[in-house]
Structure 1
C-alpha cells in the first residue's frame, strides 16, 4: 500500500531537516556518506514526514526509490542498489552498506530499509501477474539497476579512472570513476558507490547548464524561434551561430549560470545569474558565447575538485543536448585541455541500464566486459592549448565573481 505521493528530488520542503543533519553530524556525514546532506536526499524526507505527517510516518514498513517501486511491481521483491542507496544520506558508501550508526542516531528503524544489491545483480524474476500485463513470459530476471547518473556513467563508459563524462542537459553533470573511495572534505562533490561493482564515482552537479541557454532562447530569441520554424531549423543552431564569430572570453563578458541557485562547487540556493562586464560593444552573439563559456567554467569547477582528490583525467565523453553544439564541445575541450569525444549511442541512463541488465542476465560477465564490447566514441576534438591558456585567465575572473557577490545574492533574496 502506498502511504503518500513521492517527495521529488527538487522539492525544497526538507531544508530544515537537511540543515539539522548537517549541523548534528558535521564532517562525519560527508566522510561516511560521501556528501553533505541535500534537500533532495532520502533522510531529510523521512525526517520531514515524521515531523509533519506523523500518522503516515508510523505506517511506514518500507521506503523505496522510484525505480525500486517499479522493481517491486515487477517481482514482488523490495530491494535497492548501492548506487541509488548512496543518495539517501543514510548509507556507508565506503562499506557499501546501510549506516546503522546514522540510522540509530536519527531514531529510525532498520526494518524500513530495503535489502541492498550491487547494480548488475538480479533483484528477482518477473512475476506472473506483471508478465501477463506486459505480454512477457514470467521468470525473466529483473536486475537491480542504478540511479540516473550512475546508469548514465555506465552508458558513457565512464567506469575507469581517467575517463570523464560531461552531461550538458538542463543541468550539468561531471562524472568520473574512482578505484578507491575518495570524498571531498568540503562536500562540494558527491562521492557514491558506482553502478560498476567494487568502484566508486565522483560527481559534480550544476543546476542550470543547458537550462541557461534555454532561458536565453525563450526570453530573448523570439525572432530566431520564428525564423527557425519557417525554415525547419533548430532555433538553437541559429542562436549559437551568432556566437561562433565572437572571440574567446566574449570580449570581456562573463556569465554566472546560477539561474536556479547552485550545487557544485557552491551549495547556494540564493546564488543568481549574472552577466558581468556588459557594455555597448556587446551584442546577442556575445551573450550567447558568454553563456556557453560560463557553463563550461562551472563544469570546470567540478573537474578541478576531482583532480584535487587525485583523479588524473585523460579524456572527456560529452553527452546530453548541449553536446550537439560543435562550438560548445570546442569550448569544453579548450578549457579542460582534454580531448573530447561524442558517443555513438547518446542515450545516457537508459543505455547504461540496458548494459547493467546484460550483465545481470549473463550476456556479459562484468560491467567492464560489457562496456568494452558495447561503448564506442566518435568525433574527437583535440584541445588548442593556446586557447586553453587564454581561457584560464577568464576562468580565474569567473571564480572571483562568486566570492565577491555571495553576500549580495543573499541580500537580494531578502529584498524579494
Structure 2
C-alpha cells in the first residue's frame, strides 16, 4: 500500500494528514506555533516554527501508524496565503514572515492606487488592492527595512518555504502567486504592470508552476529530520483556499461548497474568472489547471457564534461543563424552538468589519428588532441566520453566472444539524455534508499530490475520497419568510452604514 502525506500549514499550526492510496484518512497530527500580534495591525510568525511543526508532525504520524517512509508516494501541501517571507539563497529566513492577517501596508496599497484604479487592478488580479496581500507587504519591507529587501533572494508563502527546505528548489503555484496580488489572473503569470507600479524587483518572486508540479525529491540532509525517505517526491500543492475546493469536491464548473469555520466562505469553480461589477467577490486561480475559483469570504461566521457563546451563553457553558458535553448542543436545542426568521430579529455579523460582500472595514455588529417578546432562542437563532444571510448574498452573486442548486458544507459549523437546515432554507439548496468535515484542505492537497505523481489519473478521484454522510433539503414553506428577511437584512445594513464611522 502506498500513502500520501499532506500538510496544511495554517495560522495556529500545521496539520499533517496521512491518506492511503484508496482515499482513506489514516490519521493526522497537529503541531502548533505562535503568532506575534503587535501595533494593532501587525501579525508575524517565525518560519522556522513552520519547519519544526512540519518535521515533528510528520515523524510523529509515521511512527504512530508504523508507516515505512519508503511507502510514501508523495508529500504535498496546502498553506496559509497572502503572506510574505523573505529568504536568502540558502533558504534562510531574513525576518519573521508577515502573514495574511497583517494590515500594516495600507500606505503601500495607496501607492499602487496612485497608478491604477481599484477597478483596473481587480480586473487584472481578481482581487482588490488592499494591505492584505503579499506584494504590498514586500513593498513595506523595501521601504522600512531596505537592508532586508536587498538581501532577499525570494519572497515566499508558507508552503513554498517548506517545499524549498525539502527540495532546495524555489517555486510557487498559481494560487499563491495570485495571493501576492501582482499576478495576471487570465494569463497565469506575474503582472509586469503591477510589479512596475509596486516598484519591486520581479526576480525576487519565485517561478510559477501548476499545483501538481513536482518540485523535486526530499534532500538527504533533511530526510532524517523529517522522517521522510531521501528522494520522496514533493508536490508544491496550493494555497489553503483552493486546496479546499478540491477537498470539498468543487472540481468542475458549478460545483460549489461553503466552509463554515471562524470565518466562512462560499466558493465555486468556473472556466473563466468572475469579475463582479461591485467587486464584492474575488477570484482565485484554481488548483486544477484551466479552472478558476470565484469566492466570497466573510470575517466572523463561526467566530460570531463563538463570541455569543462566550459572552452570553454562560448558563449553557455551565451545563456543558457539568454534563461533559458541548455548549453548542444546548444552543442548537434552543435555536430549534425559535421559528424561521427568529421572530423578526435581525443580527448583523460584522464584529470585525467585513470583507465579502460588504468590503466595509467600519461595519459593526448589531441586533435589530428586539422587543419584549424576543426570547433567548430567538437571539441565538438570529446569530446563525445573520451569518447565513450574509453568505447568501455571496451565493447570489455567483448565481448570476451559473445555476447552483446544491453545495457541500464543510468546517466546524457543519456539525450542527440546525445550522445545515438554516443554510438549506436561506440558500434554497440541497446541502451535502461529508463524513470528514475539517479535512477539506488536507484532502485537497493529498489529491493534488496523487495527481502530481501519477497515482491518480485526474481530480475526479475526489468522488472516491469524499463520502457524503447526510443530505439536508430546503423546506419550501420557509421560502416566503426568508425572502422577506433577506430584503430586511440588506436594508438594515445600508441604513446603519452612515453611522459606522462614528463608532
TM-score, with structure 2 as normaliser: 0.80
Partner residue of 1:206 out of 290, 298, 313: 298
Displacement after TM superposition at 1:92 (Å): 0.5
Quick check: 1:164 aligned with 2:256? Answer: yes
Unaligned runs of 5+ in 2: 1-91
Displacement after TM superposition at 1:370 (Å): 2.1
Q: Secondary structure at the match of 1:163?
A: coil
Q: Secondary structure at the match of 1:63?
A: strand
Q: Judging by fraction of residues, say which structure has more helix.
A: 1
Partner residue of 2:283 out of 185, 191, 194: 191
- Report if the CA contact (8 A) 1:161-1:312 is conserved: no
- 2-side partners of 1:240 and 1:280: how far apart? 22
Aligned residues, how many?
410
- 1-side partners of 2:145 and 2:375: how far apart? 52
- 2-side partners of 1:314 and 1:364: how far apart? 29
Q: Secondary structure at the match of 1:303?
A: helix
Q: Secondary structure at the match of 1:411?
A: coil
Extract structure 1 runs of 4+ deviating beyond 6 A: none
- Cα deviation, 1:168-194, whole Å, max 9, x if unaligned, reads 100011110002232223321111110
Counterpart residue number, 1:386: 477
Quick check: 1:290 aligned with 2:382? Answer: yes
- Report if the CA contact (8 A) 2:112-2:197 is conserved: no
Displacement after TM superposition at 1:117 (Å): 1.0
Displacement after TM superposition at 1:265 (Å): 0.9
- 2-side partners of 1:186 and 1:45: how far apart? 25
Structure 1 stretch 47-56 or stretch 250-259: which is displaced more?
47-56
Quick check: 1:334 aligned with 2:425? Answer: yes
Q: Secondary structure at the match of 2:419?
A: helix
- How well do the aligned residues superpose, as a CA RMSD in angstroms? 1.3
Q: Secondary structure at the match of 1:24?
A: coil
Counterpart residue number, 1:145: 237
Q: Secondary structure at the match of 1:204?
A: strand
Q: Judging by fraction of residues, say which structure has more strand.
A: 2
Q: Secondary structure at the match of 1:186?
A: coil
- Give 1:247-396 correspondences, 5 Å limit: 247-308=339-400, 310-346=401-437, 347-367=439-459, 369-396=460-487
- 2-side partners of 1:386 and 1:24: how far apart? 52
Displacement after TM superposition at 1:105 (Å): 2.5
- Cα deviation, 1:1-58, whole Å, max 9, x if unaligned, reads 3111111111121122223334531111101000102322101101111222222222
- Report if the CA contact (8 A) 2:282-2:296 is conserved: yes
- Report if the CA contact (8 A) 1:189-1:202 is conserved: yes
Counterpart residue number, 2:99: 8
Counterpart residue number, 2:162: 70
